[in-house]
Amino acid sequence: MDGTVRPSSALAFDVRRVRQDFPILSTTVHGKPLVFLDSGASAQKPRAVLDAMLRMMETSYANVHRGAYHLSEASTAAYEAAREAVARFLNARDVREVVFTTNSTAAINLVAHSYGRGVLKPGQAVVVTEMEHHANFVPWQMLAQAHGIELRIADVTDAGELDMADLEAKLADGKVGLVAVTHMSNVLGTVTPAARIAALAHANGAKVLFDGSQAVVHRRVDVQALEADFYVFTGHKLYGPTGIGVLWGRMELLDAMPPFLGGGDMISEVTREGFRPAPVPAKFEAGTPPIVEAVGLHAAIDYVSAIGMDAIEAHERALVDQAMAKLSAIEDLTLIGRAQDRGGVFSFALGNAHAHDLSTLLDRVGIAVRAGRHCAEPLHVRIGHDSTCRASFGLYTTHEEVDFLAEALASARRFFT
């Protein structure tokens, strides 16, 4: 059990009906229908999210937690309702364990600063992996430089999976205080065995943080089943707005951590001599929070929950199977990673064509993919590619779009030959 729920059979999923909820998908690019295959960077937004945010601004917007008047109370209720929605979505045991940030990067930096400097001691170690996004790599490098923490990096196998034997070896001396690992790679699509990682970390006296930025989009996540200590994700990949992210942490850990930022709403009392922080979660939410964005995230969670994460996962698994077969058949195309458990993210290289040239060529026929190192330079060094193209699926991706991508790549191969 890895903390995710898998469908036992194909579930009804009407992707054409779903696509009607996303206004941008009816647009054209260079006179061609838009084929948006960059949801791993930032997903498109359904009308339910757009409407909820507009309605909030038109009818009940005010600052939260500070006003004894109707609009402020209504705005506060909407903001806190979003926190409750996140808690249900992750199966948090206490709504106060949900801290709003601006994105996953901010959430990881919060843990690196507050838990890293406030709880971890110099001489302890943090373990990350070769497949991490820079957001789950650089904050720990900064902590190592400033706080005397040793940074250890677990290997990735040639198949693009986490080398569990190497991870175990890096934990064996008992000096590791925290393991910080992606739940799903934004480059390889690899889904890591999160529950096994958590069990291994705990057996060796370490806590564990999962970067769920990709995973929560593609499958159901239960932080209790995972036995996670921290879990982060960002709203804009989950069909919500930018500017809103989530840190979930176990209450006893959050209580032990000092504040990250200082200012309004994170204090209980301020005197000339000092201050007393507010309880969790307010302790970590300094300043005016992302109020409208939280409402948008709530709408996005309601949207995917109404469809059903099991149905979404079943749809995307079918797309993954199709893409593996289609892309593997293209001559001179190299698929990066062959993990047994993977989500709808595919990075690839085509012969000697530069990723940016290939991406530009695909754009001319309406296909949007990402090109570059995908904020994962150490992983690209490991796989031996300076840059790659990446196609990433959303719940609105169709089988016809996967076919069209394969046809366009076959055509591009002839172009670059």
Average pLDDT of the chain? 95
- Give the pLDDT of residue 412: 96
- Give the pLDDT of residue 349: 97
* pLDDT at residue 284 is higher than 70: yes
| Dist CA 320 CA 9 (whole Å) | 16
Q: Band of the pLDDT at 66, cuts 50, 70, 90?
A: confident
| Dist CA 349 CA 408 (whole Å) | 14
Contacts of 333 (CB under 8 A, 6+ apart): 327, 348, 349, 350, 351, 409, 413
Residues labelled catalytic: 375
* pLDDT at residue 2 is higher than 50: no
- Give the pLDDT of residue 6: 36
On whether the CB atoms of residues 15 and 396 are closer than 8 A, the answer is yes
Omega before residue 7 within 30° of 0, cis: no
Question: Residues 294-351: pLDDT tens digits?
Answer: 999 999 999 999 999 999 999 999 999 999 999 999 999 999 999 999 999 999 999 9
* pLDDT at residue 395 is higher than 60: yes
- Give the pLDDT of residue 77: 98
- Give the pLDDT of residue 417: 80
Closest CA to 143 of 111, 175, 167, 173: 111
Within the chain, all domains assigned CATH 3.40.640.10 are found at 50-305
Q: Band of the pLDDT at 198, cuts 50, 70, 90?
A: very high
Q: Band of the pLDDT at 94, cuts 50, 70, 90?
A: very high
Record the pTM.
0.95
Within the chain, all domains assigned CATH 3.90.1150.10 are found at 4-45+308-416
Give the residue-averaged pLDDT of 264-268: 92
Which architecture does CATH list for 4-45+308-416? Alpha-Beta Complex (3.90)
Q: Which fold has domain 50-305?
A: Aspartate Aminotransferase; domain 2 (3.40.640)
